[in-house]
Amino acid sequence: MKWKIVIFSIYLSLAACLFSAVAMAAPGPDPAGSITGTINDVTASIPGKPTLEEVAAQAGHNKVAINFVWTLIAGFLVMFMQPGFAMVETGLTRAKNVAHTMAMNFMVYPLGMLAFYICGFALMFGGIGALGTLGGYGGLNHEFTINLFGKPFGLFGTKGFFLSGSAYDAAVFTLFLFQMVFMDTTATIPTGALAERWKFLSFFIYALFVGTVIYPIFGNWVWGGGWLAMLGQNFGLGHGHVDFAGSSVVHMTGGVIALVGAWLLGPRLGKFNRDGSPNPIPGHNIPMAVIGTFILAFGWFGFNAGSTLAGTDLRIGVIATNTMLASATGALAATLWMWLVRTKKPDPSMMCNGMLAGLVAITAPCAFVNSISACIIGLVAGVLVVEAVYFIEGKLKLDDPVGAISVHGVNGAWGCLALGLFADGTYGDGWNGITGTVKGLFYGGTSQFIAQCIGIISNFIYVGLISLLVFKLIDLMVGNRVEPEVEIAGLDIPEMGVVGYAGVKLDKHSETPISK
């Protein structure tokens, strides 16, 4: 009998608790989620009775919070582009070099990040001023400036080294995370063009240079308040050089470094015959390249739509959709161009390059153009990338195993030009301190087009010269290229100490062609 009484009394007390809970009107479960979040959730000195000021403060905090969350999640998406690059580059190269190619794509992330943390971020954003969408903090407030033609030319920032001092701020950290993954995108582009012959030690040092100096300086000129951003204010050229998410800052920079690197390093053994005609060196894994391309296209939503640094800027709907449209027309154009014009086959590796070319090209203009323009920009990019691949290999005699120069360099330039042509004047009021929206040549914005051209030319000259200097310097220190016997054997064991595909016998497809 005793245990029955015990259970009964437990039951009774539970029921009493439940009843009293209901009687006190504490919130019950809300399966629909429609009544969770009430006036009680507004921070107020008298709970449940916020003043108007307190409601307004909460609204402001929430707006900035949405922008923080948006920027961070977009940054996480862009971070995931790293495996995309790794897979595209490794898939389009040979099986005997997979451990080396993958390792470059892997280590560029930590190396570039630390370089950017040490000083890259400070040089790029140290003079940006108030962080508008992230709460307006103004601790990054010093730009090194020289005077030319009686106008200030901002060259680099000087606040925020090691994210310390006045940079120890939640908004600055958020900006760092987002901008660091952009820098890493640039840093990993040349690993594709230089694959299968680049000495790992040389790559290692390069990754530090790109994160500390090469990328941040040009980035400052466009995004950190430097002289290209000020072309509008100083010389009346539109809104200055406008690059929404980095066709020039990120992609063209990576493409130009790749161009210089591929030129200095020379082609892979067997790539060209004595008469200059190229030998194909087929990549070992098309499925890997295709999956990598999809991962990149996915990450690109963070890349472009995240570049508002504001989830409360509803232009993100237009930006994301323009991005996906251009990726589609880029892939379509490259496929059809190969299939109908250049060869008789649609060519999977060019499909991938085409989609990426469309994405690179829409990166600068994505926020400023309508959907038809986005489709046209992608279509042009798809044809341009195929022709650039033929031109770089056939005419320039440069060896770019994965098409990085064509995808990122050529189409990065095209993306910036496209902004100067197609920007339709529906967005960008106040961009770079200029009132009025951004208009391209087709909408009456001649000076904007000129600013875009100046941006592209400056990128080519600056990035070309500094990467030439950096590669030459590294070559003097440690040498850029592996020995021929290493290249023939495959870089995996001599450079990395391990084969990428242990237990798999590689066949003739991994061999080096003989130059005739």
Partner 1 sequence: MKKIEAIIRPEKLELVCQALEEVDSPGLMITEIEGHGKQKGLTQQWRGRKYKVELLPKVKIEIVVNDQDVERITKAISDAAKTGKIGDGKIFVYPVENVLRIRTGEKGELAL
Binding stretches for partner 1 (CB under 8 A): 278-283, 338, 342-343, 345, 347, 349-350, 386, 389-390, 393, 403, 508
Q: Tell me which residue of 402, 390, 200 sits closest to 296, measured CA to CA.
A: 402
Q: Say how far apart CA 10 and CA 191 lie, in whole Å.
A: 69
**Contact yes or no for 157/127 (Cβ under 8 A):** yes
**Beta carbon of residue 493, minimum distance to partner 1 (angstroms, whole number):** 25
Q: Which residues of 189-218 are buried (b: 16+ CB within 10 A; e: fewer)?
A: bbbbbbbbbbbbebbbbbbbbbbbbbbbbb
Nearer to partner 1, 85 or 471 (CB): 85
CB of 511 to partner 1, least distance (A): 12
CB of 281 to partner 1, least distance (A): 7
**Taking the complex as a whole, how short is the minimal distance between the CB of residue 248 and partner 1, in angstroms?**
26
Question: Closest CB to partner 1 among 94 and 315?
Answer: 94
**Which C-beta is closer to partner 1: that of 253 or that of 512?**
512
- State the nearest-atom distance from the C-beta of 508 to partner 1, in Å: 7
Q: Is 46 helix (H, G, I), strand (E, B) or coil?
A: coil
Provide, rounded to whole angstroms, the least separation between the CB of residue 389 and partner 1. Answer: 6
- CA 160 to chain CA centroid, Å, is 21
Residue 505 beta carbon to partner 1: minimum distance, rounded to whole angstroms: 12
The alpha carbon of residue 190 and the mean position of all alpha carbons in its chain are separated, in whole angstroms, by 14
**Among candidates 200, 285, 275, 281, which has minimal Cα distance to 512?**
281
Whether residue 128 contacts residue 89, with contact meaning beta carbons closer than 8 Å, is answered with no
Q: Give the Cα separation of 421 and 444 in Å (integer).
A: 9
Rounded CA-CA distance 189/194 in Å is 9
Q: How far apart are CA 441 and CA 341, in angstroms?
A: 30
Q: Check: CB of residue 492 under 8 Å from CB of residue 210.
A: no
Structure tokens of 74? 């977009």
Using CA of residue 259, residue 260, residue 263, residue 268, what is the dihedral sign? negative
CB of 252 to partner 1, least distance (A): 22
Q: Which is nearer to partner 1, 20 or 273 (CB)?
A: 273
Which element (helix H / strand E) includes 152? Answer: strand 151-157
Q: Shortest distance, CB of residue 344 to partner 1, whole angstroms?
A: 9
Cβ closest to partner 1, residue 183 vs residue 350? 350
Rounded least distance, CB 504 to partner 1, Å? 16
Instruction: Please state the closest distance from residue 388 (CB atom) to partner 1, in A.
Output: 12
User: Of 88 and 237, which has the nearer Cβ to partner 1?
Assistant: 88
The 8-class DSSP code of residue 146 comes to E
- DSSP secondary structure letters along 212-281: IIIHHHHHHHHHSS-TTTTHHHHH--BTBS--SS-IIIIIIHHHHHHHHHHHHH-PPTTSB-TTSPBPP-
Q: Which is nearer to partner 1, 119 or 360 (CB)?
A: 360
Complex with partner 1: residue 192 or 211, whichever CB lies closer: 192
DSSP track, 302-314: HHHHGGGS-TT-T
User: 3-state SS of the chain: helix, strand, coil percent to 5?
Assistant: 65, 5, 30
**C-beta closer to partner 1: residue 169 or 393:** 393
Per-residue DSSP letter, 424: B
- With respect to partner 1, which residue has the nearer C-beta, 141 or 279? 279
Query: Residue 380 and residue 62: Cα distance in Å, rounded?
Result: 41
Of 42 and 92, which has the nearer Cβ to partner 1?
92
